[in-house]
Amino acid sequence: MKAIILAAGSGTRLKKYTKNLPKGMLDFMGKTLIERQIEVYRDCGIEDIIIVRGFAADKISYEGIKYYTNKNYANTNMVESLMEAKAEFDDDIIVSYSDVLFQDDMLKKMMELKADFACAVDDNWQEYWVKRYGRVDFDTESLVIDDKDNIIELGLENPSAGNISARYIGILKFSVNGLKFIQKIMGEAYQSFMNKPWQQSGKTIKQAYMTDLLNAIIEAGKEVKAIHFNNGWIEFDTNEDYENALRWSKDGSISKIIRL
């Protein structure tokens, strides 16, 4: 099994701290976010780790890691970064966003699941959101799960409460067969949606979000399994996220969200 860390973005909402630094290289409790991810992967037995770089690529350099570069990072998004590493699609893969930290038990559970497409979700996301924003009706997106634990809708902004079964985290698992199907979907999409909206985000194929890809997989009739968690993760998306996390780490309250 391999791991691919997507770290190409410039982190525009973290520019107070990342003007010349990829956000995955933010220091948190003495280690960078990417360094912490690498440690979790290795602790769980994944040694084949790939990082897709882009913005300030030279700032990301760790021994024993394989690198790919999304040179067009400023005009593309997560799916395009993933496809930069398609040469690695010869084994099952865990994909993670570089601005997310997660516990090792989460990773182990994902590694154990037998599914072509799987997505980590947080059933207890409201607790984190209240601590993060003081409310649960902000920065939300749809994620609907059926009674067989298949995700049937995700990625729509500002949904009704009934369309939020759980929270998308940004950690995924794709099997070898799943990755072959992804390449098929993407090959067709590159032909038809280069200059027009592809999925529900309204983005072109080059600018597509990961939720767009997952939605395309669902629309093609494939099962995308939800892997359930109760907290155990944290993301660094804005200046406020970073400052809050630093404060929580000092007062010890971060342990209510994630074990580090």
User: Any idea where the domains of the chain sit in the sequence?
Assistant: 2-121+167-191+224-256
pLDDT-derived band at 34, boundaries 50, 70, 90 = very high
What's the confidence (pLDDT) of residue 133?
Answer: 96
Query: Domain 2-121+167-191+224-256 belongs to what topology?
Result: Spore Coat Polysaccharide Biosynthesis Protein SpsA; Chain A (3.90.550)
Per-residue pLDDT tens over the stretch 227-258: 999 999 999 999 999 999 999 999 999 999 99
Collapsed DSSP state (helix, strand, coil) of residue 141: strand
Does residue 161 register a pLDDT over 90? no
Question: Which pLDDT band, with edges at 50, 70 and 90, does 76 fall under?
Answer: very high
Helix (H) or strand (E) holding 177: helix 176-192
Residue 65 has pLDDT above 90, yes or no: yes
Q: Residue 257 has what pLDDT?
A: 96
Is 90 exceeded by the pLDDT of residue 132? Answer: yes
Question: pLDDT tens digits for 137-149?
Answer: 999 999 999 999 9
Residues 216 and 45: their CA atoms lie apart, in Å, by: 31
| Contact partners, residue 229, CB within 8 Å, separation at least 6 | 106, 109, 120, 121, 122, 123, 124, 169
Q: Are 82 and 210 in contact (CB under 8 A)?
A: yes
Q: Is the CB of residue 186 less than 8 Å from the CB of residue 205?
A: yes
Q: What is the pLDDT of residue 195?
A: 87
Percent of the chain exceeding pLDDT 90 equals 97
Write out pLDDT tens, residues 36-51: 999 999 999 999 999 9
Average pLDDT over residues 159-185: 96
Backbone torsions φ then ψ of 225, nearest 5 degrees: -80, 140
The pLDDT of residue 9 is 95
Mean pLDDT of all residues belonging to the chain: 96
